[in-house]
A = this chain, B = another copy of it.
């Protein structure tokens, strides 16, 4: 009657605790804790013995117990706010995540990953994770021009790294609490200038940038850079400009159609992601417009697709996994008490392929 669940299902192996180690090593639990956490208070001999026993038993700290007493959850969070519709073909996130985890796994830190529909849900999730003490910090992606997240996170005291750009250009007004927000970003402005230079040097004068979501910070930076670079080169703002989309293949194709139907169609188009670039190239192909003879195409972000496209697309290549590594390292540094920093990742470089060339003679 008092029998412990000696039911049909055989009980799986019990997980060893420090108590088990203590008993087998003939010491107290505290000694075990000291030994396994590299704290002083145990002799080298005892420490070695305890370590050996722990290994024998295959002991691993119970993460819940550790989190409860030690303040640290040993877990970081990453939320991706994307309407399911645009959860399309993008290697970006898996690459980023794999880079992040390379760094985290070395530190035995787990990553909580969640896809949500919108920004509000994302914020609610941060609150919940904070209240539940589920994560020690978060990686914030897709920073926006007017972003509520840094303030929220500062308020909660949740350490964070903004991946992809300075979410807040400068702390404005009264800091609510000391923000623990680092930033890892790439110089989109300079990259855009390089692309424009490349096209301009080839002879293009009518260049359109099919941008992504307008309220993302990096989109704003790219648009701004296009404008200033064009001005610097004395290009006509009517002919060198940006149009915004939602990053989907559908809007990329639609924008391309509109552009090609215009009285003075562009001779080069820069797409803010690979999917739109492919979609755009397909539109051109469908209309019998040869690439690059009559239209040059550049994709921001490379992918296998750009390589297998016909013709292969000139692309801005960046090492996304490395970006993830950088971000993870920065967040860990923050958790270790380091100061918030702003770190610049590698500048994307232009990989010329067969989708760019000089514009048709008439232009």
- Complex Cα spacing A58 to B63, Å: 25
Q: Are B305 and A89 in contact (CB under 8 A)?
A: yes
Given A89-B89, A89-B90, A91-B88, the answer on whether A131 and B64 have CB atoms closer than 8 Å is no
Minimum distance in angstroms from A316 CB to a CB of chain B:
16
Q: Are A62 and B68 in contact (CB under 8 A)?
A: yes
- Complex Cα spacing A91 to B80, Å: 14
Q: Are A249 and B304 in contact (CB under 8 A)?
A: yes
Q: Which of A4-12, A34-42, A187-195, A225-233 binds B?
A: A4-12
Q: Are A9 and B73 in contact (CB under 8 A)?
A: no
Task: Chain B residues near A177: list those with CB within 8 A.
Answer: 9-10, 12
Interface residue from B58, B75, B282, B303 paired with A131 (Cβ < 8 Å): B58
- Complex Cα spacing A5 to B241, Å: 53
Is residue A110 contacting chain B, with contact meaning CB distance below 8 A?
Answer: yes
Q: Which of A112-120, A161-169, A207-215 binds B?
A: A112-120
Task: Chain B residues near A15: list those with CB within 8 A.
Answer: 130-131, 133
Task: Chain B residues near A12: list those with CB within 8 A.
Answer: 155-158, 177
Q: Are B110 and A97 in contact (CB under 8 A)?
A: no
Minimum distance in angstroms from A283 CB to a CB of chain B:
8
Q: Are B321 and A305 in contact (CB under 8 A)?
A: no
- Complex Cα spacing A115 to B134, Å: 20
Minimum distance in angstroms from A354 CB to a CB of chain B:
11
Q: Are A84 and B98 in contact (CB under 8 A)?
A: yes
Q: Are B310 and A60 in contact (CB under 8 A)?
A: no
A residues contacting B by CB (< 8 A) are 8-13, 15, 58-68, 73, 75, 80, 84, 87-91, 93-95, 97-98, 101, 105, 108, 110-116, 127-128, 130-134, 155-158, 177-178, 248-250, 253, 274-275, 278-279, 282, 285-286, 303-305, 307-310, 321
